[in-house]
Amino acid sequence: MHERCEWKLRTALGETMDEPHSEYDTDETDQVTDVYAEFCLSTIETMRRSSVEPLILIEERLDYSHIAPQGFGTGDLVLVGKDEDGTGLIHVIDFKGGRGVRVEAEMNSQMMLYAAAALNSYGFLVDPEIIRMSIVQPRLDNISTFQMTVEELNAWAESIKPIARMAFEGKGEQHTGDWCIFCKAKPVCRACAEEALSLAREEFLDLDEDVLDSACADTQANGEQVHSTEPVERAEQDSSPEPTDTTAPYILDRDTIVFKSPQLIPIETLASLMPSLTRIDSWIEAVFAFISAEAITHGVTIPGYKIVEGRSRRVFSDEYAAANAAEAAGVTNIYKTEMKSLSEIEKMMGKKRFAEVLGEYVLKPPGKLALVPEDDPRPAADNTLDARGASATDEFDVIE
């Protein structure tokens, strides 16, 4: 999708570039990259209204090693020029093709690093006052823009320099969080493993010391004898009678695992666990993928496991020759046809004629429902709709 984004931008701007093709080309990827290209082109046209032609950098390597040692990234689109009101502006635009994690531009560290790199390399051209950053994530209907002054960006960059230096040197403490999702070190990260395993212990295995202490306190309040919860050294008195279950001092066993009561977990408790569960699930997937890659790709021996071949399906070694042989044998119905995609037909006809001829047949059904955090900017959906998009009031008459 990034390659198609680049191709659509360059060709729209009059540059020559071969159209990229991939096994992943679909109607959706075409629509998604159209959204990105249209946003970028409209942003360029807005900057051109200042009568200053912006510097347009597509897929530009951005070096921010002056902030983080050896740090660099690739800016999908960097615009250096003036806003329509004449204000010096650097605008960094980033395409996100995913739909699993919503990415916002506000105080986005990746975007600010890219912007700082662009400012350091090209700021002298326009003496910018405003730094603008946009994320285009069409598969989540997310176009997010954030801006700050040059002074604010420089102050932020200075504040993270010592942190970046410490991380580069392998110092400091590891902390888990949402930033772990795309971290390459996740499958071998001790902090991720400890978080996942500690949550499992917390939720399923418990020594319940607080409960025991509370029970002892309640018993003492009722005037009953309470044995100490501290280990008691038995007096070496040969004349002492052999202790029994009722007379022996109580010693808290801190080594034996006690399972929690099999009670149902309230929905509020489950909801509070979801952020951690998401990270744990991501960590588990990363560990499996890492170990599999080490074994399959690099030949590493994994104790207790082996490499096997999965089930494969039959294919023609030469489809053209197979088709000729089948037709020579009198078998002619070996091909199937299907209608071209909506986007392909729209491109053939043009948007205006397409709307006139086929507009009445175009339907955009409601998107698949998903549970997301409250701070997600998308409006809440009506989850009373059925699979066809109909609600109960559409199906039944009101009984007075």
Domains of the chain: 2-172 (3.90.320), 175-226+248-310 (no CATH)
- pLDDT tens digits, 246-264: 565 656 555 655 555 545 5
Backbone angles phi, psi at 287, to 5 degrees: -65, -45
Alpha-carbon distance of 322 to 316, in angstroms, equals: 7
How far separated are the first and last CA of the chain, in Å rounded?
A: 55
- pLDDT tens digits, 321-355: 988 998 888 888 888 778 888 878 888 888 888 88
Alpha-carbon distance of 187 to 288, in angstroms, equals: 8
β-strand pairing of 142-149 with 72-82:
unpaired
Alpha-carbon distance of 79 to 56, in angstroms, equals: 5
| Arithmetic mean of pLDDT, 314-319 | 86
Alpha-carbon distance of 387 to 383, in angstroms, equals: 10
More confident residue, 204 or 267: 267
Does 185 have pLDDT greater than 90?
no
pLDDT band at 163 (very low <50, low <70, confident <90, very high): very high
- pLDDT tens digits, 17-43: 999 998 888 888 999 999 999 999 999
Alpha-carbon distance of 332 to 228, in angstroms, equals: 90
Alpha-carbon distance of 205 to 299, in angstroms, equals: 37
Ordered DSSP codes for 109-157: HHHHHHHHHHHHHHGGGT--SEEEEEEEEGGGTEEEEEEEEHHHHHHHH
Read off the pTM. 0.59
